[in-house]
Amino acid sequence: MTSQLFIHNSRSENGNISKMIILSLIIHLFVISTVIITVPSASRHITFGQAYSVQLVGSEVMMPVKNISELNDILQSNKATNSIIVKKEVSRLSSTPVKKEETDNLTIEKAISALKQKERSPTQAASAAQSPSAASAPARGNMPQAPSSSRLNEYYGFIQSRVKGNWILPPSLRPKDNVVTIIEVKILSNGAVERLNFEKRSGNSYVDDSAMKAVQKSIPFPPFPAGMMDNYIEIGIRFPSSDLR
């Protein structure tokens, strides 16, 4: 029967064949574009984690101060304070907050230079910077070479190191099973945050609170670097909490 059809078709002229070709082309294009539009593309996960993670002991270890003895005293470890109050004229207080910002800037600058170095050299540089995030390659996700998206990834690096630096969670509050909290945030080009809410709660309110606090303390974010084309970015920040102890 098919052979009869075939003979039938071949007997008609080229016009019929070209019609079939056009029809086939239309159907192919339709199917392909439908598939491409409707299949959701995989979300890009950018992980700046490295193979090992360093547990920081506390702020007193983080900020060594050599010169100013007053600051040294203030930043000493948390021994029980005596009830003897030493009254001294202190003109240093303005420097305390500045010190904190300097540390932040230092971290960000190191992150920037580490990222720049990484872009220049094809081999991965070992990370000696304070923010391990910037230097190690992301676990997943494409990094196209276009300048706009490399600026974008730099910015993601800022966000990652800043939020991480503000995340406080005592190990005993971490739940035993692996849960994850996701905070979604919409950041405008001037660094302001238009929307901030939970995309996913872990179910453990202490972990969720600590995650939201970490993001709240990181606001406002720095404005988008020059070269970033976007008007805003919407990102999800994931806080996994597996119990290590």
Partner 1 sequence: MKTVKTIAALVICFCAPLMLCSNAVAKVYIDIDSPSFQQFPIAISDFQNPAGNTDKSAVSGIAMADDIKRYLSMTGIFNILNKKSFLDDNNPGQITATENIRYSDWAMIGADYLLRGNITQNDKDIIVESRLYDVTRGELLLNKKYNSNIPEQKTVARMIASDILFALTGDEGEFNTRIAFISKKRSQADIYTINYDGSEMKNITNHESIVVGPRWSPDGRYLAFTSYRDGSPEGYIRNLKNGSDKKVASFEGLNLCGSFSPDGSKLLLTLSKDGNEEIYVLEIDTMKLTRITHNYSIDVSPTWSPDGKRIAFVSNRSGSPQIFIMDADGNNTKRITFEGNYNTSPSWSPRGGRIAYEGLINSKFQIFSIDEEGNNLLQLTFDNAKNEYPSWSPSGRQIAYSSKINSKNKICIMNANGLNVRVLMESTNSSLMPAWSPRFK
Which 78-107 residues touch partner 1, going by CB under 8 A?
78, 80-81, 83, 85, 90, 93, 96-97, 100
Is residue 127 a contact residue for partner 1 (CB under 8 A)? no
- Asked if 25 touches partner 1 (CB under 8 A), the answer is yes
Q: Which stretch binds partner 1 (CB under 8 A): 6-14, 71-79, 111-119, 189-197?
A: 71-79
Q: Residues in the chain, how many?
A: 245
Q: Shortest Cβ distance from residue 25 to partner 1 (Å)?
A: 7
The reply on whether position 47 binds partner 1 by CB under 8 A is: yes
CA pair distance 164, 162, nearest whole angstrom: 5
DSSP string, 49-77: --SS-PPP--HHHH---SS-HHHHHHTS-
Query: Hey, what amino acid is at 235?
Result: I
**Residue 160 is a binding residue for partner 1 (CB under 8 A):** yes
Choose which of 46, 111, 135, 228 interacts with partner 1 (CB under 8 A): 46
User: C-alpha dihedral over 131, 132, 136, 139, to 10 degrees?
Assistant: -110
For tokens 């909290």, the residue is: 181
Between 192 and 231, how does the x/- string for binding to partner 1 read (CB under 8 A)?
-------------xx---x--xx-xx--------------
169 touching partner 1, by CB under 8 A: yes
CB 142 within 8 A of CB 41: no
**Cross-strand bridge partners of residue 239:** 181
Give the three-state DSSP class for 14: helix
CB of 3 to partner 1, least distance (A): 29
- Site pattern 173..192 for partner 1 (x: CB under 8 A): x--x-----x----------
Of 3-11, 18-26, 119-127, 186-194: span binding partner 1 (CB under 8 A): 18-26
- Tell whether residue 128 is a contact of partner 1 (CB under 8 A): no
Number of residues that bind partner 1 (CB under 8 A): 78
Q: Quote the CA–CA distance of 176 and 179 in Å, as a whole number.
A: 9
> Closest Cα partner for 183 from 153, 158, 152, 215?
215
Three-state secondary structure along 134-166? HHCCCCCCCCCCCHHHHHHHHHHHHHHHHHHHC
**Contacting residue, 24, 33, 105, 178, with partner 1 by CB under 8 A:** 33
Q: Which helix (H) or strand (E) holds 10?
A: helix 2-11
Q: Is 58 in the site for partner 1 (CB under 8 A)?
A: yes
The reply to whether 168 sits near partner 1 by the rule CB under 8 A is yes
